[in-house]
Amino acid sequence: MLDGKAALVTGAGRGIGRGIALALAQAGAKVVVNDLGTSLSGEGAEPLPADQVVDEILTTGGTAEVNRGNVASFDDATQMVEQVVRVFGRIDILVNVAGILRDRMIFNMTEAEWDAVIAVHLKGTFNCTRAASPHMRQQQSGRIISMSSVAALGSAGQPNYAAAKAGILGLTWSTANALAKYGVTVNAIMPSGATRMVDSTPRGRRVFEETGKWPTELAVGTERDPDNVAPLVVYLASDAAANVNGQVFHSYGYGYTLFEQPHAARSIRAQQRWDPEELARVFPKTLPAPTLGVEHRRRLSLLAVTLRSLSGLRALHHGSARVSAARSVYLLQRRR
Ligand X SMILES: NC(=O)c1ccc[n+]([C@@H]2O[C@H](COP(=O)([O-])OP(=O)(O)OC[C@H]3O[C@@H](n4cnc5c(N)ncnc54)[C@H](O)[C@@H]3O)[C@@H](O)[C@H]2O)c1
Closer Cβ to ligand X, 168 or 176, answer by number: 168
Q: For residues 46 and 139, which CB has a smaller minimum distance to ligand X in the complex?
A: 46
- Min dist CB 137 to ligand X, Å, is 24
Hey, which residues between 185 and 204 contact ligand X (CB under 6 A)?
191-193, 195-198
Q: How far is the CB of 34 from ligand X (least distance, A)?
A: 6
Which positions are catalytic? 161
- Regarding 303 and contact with ligand X (CB under 6 A), the answer is no
Least separation in angstroms between residue 11's CB and ligand X is 3
Helix (H, G, I), strand (E, B) or coil at 82: helix
Considering the rule CB under 6 A, would residue 172 count as an interface residue with ligand X?
Answer: no
- For residue 21, give every residue at least 6 positions away whose Cβ sits within 8 Å of its Cβ, in sequence order, or none: 7, 9, 12, 31, 33, 53, 57, 64
Give the residue with the Cβ less far from ligand X, 146 or 324: 146
Q: How far is CA 261 from the centre of its chain?
A: 15
Which one among 2, 7, 10, 256 touches ligand X, defined by CB under 6 A?
Answer: 10
Whole-number CA gyration radius for the chain: 21
CA-to-CA dists, residue 271 to 88, 211, 275, 277, angstroms: 61, 65, 11, 16
- Strand (E) positions, the chain? 6-9, 30-34, 63-67, 93-96, 142-147, 184-190, 248-252, 255-258, 316-317, 333-334
Is residue 81 a contact partner of residue 134, using CB atoms and an 8 Å limit?
Answer: no
Query: Which of these ranges, 32-40, 201-209, 257-265, 296-304, lies near ligand X under the rule CB under 6 A?
Result: 32-40
Euclidean distance between CA atoms 2 and 26, whole angstroms:
9
Rule CB under 6 A: say whether 33 interacts with ligand X. Answer: no
Q: What residue number has its CB nearest to ligand X? A: 15
In angstroms, what is the minimal distance from the CB of 158 to ligand X? 10
Give yes or no for a contact between 237 and 95, defined as CB atoms under 8 angstroms apart: yes
251 is a site residue for ligand X (CB under 6 A): no
* CB of 146 vs ligand X, minimal distance in Å: 8
Task: List the x/- string, 67-106, binding to ligand X by CB under 6 A.
Answer: ---xxx------------------------xxxx------
Q: Is 125 one of the binding residues for ligand X (CB under 6 A)? A: no
Cβ atoms of residues 215 and 199 within 8 Å: yes
Closest CB to ligand X among residues 191, 246: 191
Q: Smallest Cα–Cα separation from 234: which of 124, 323, 313, 158?
A: 313
Contacts of 91 (CB under 8 A, 6+ apart): 6, 7, 8, 81, 84, 85, 132, 135, 136, 142
Does residue 17 bind ligand X (CB under 6 A)? yes
Sites of contact with ligand X (CB under 6 A): 10-11, 13-17, 34-38, 40, 42, 49, 70-72, 97-100, 120, 124, 147, 149, 191-193, 195-198, 226
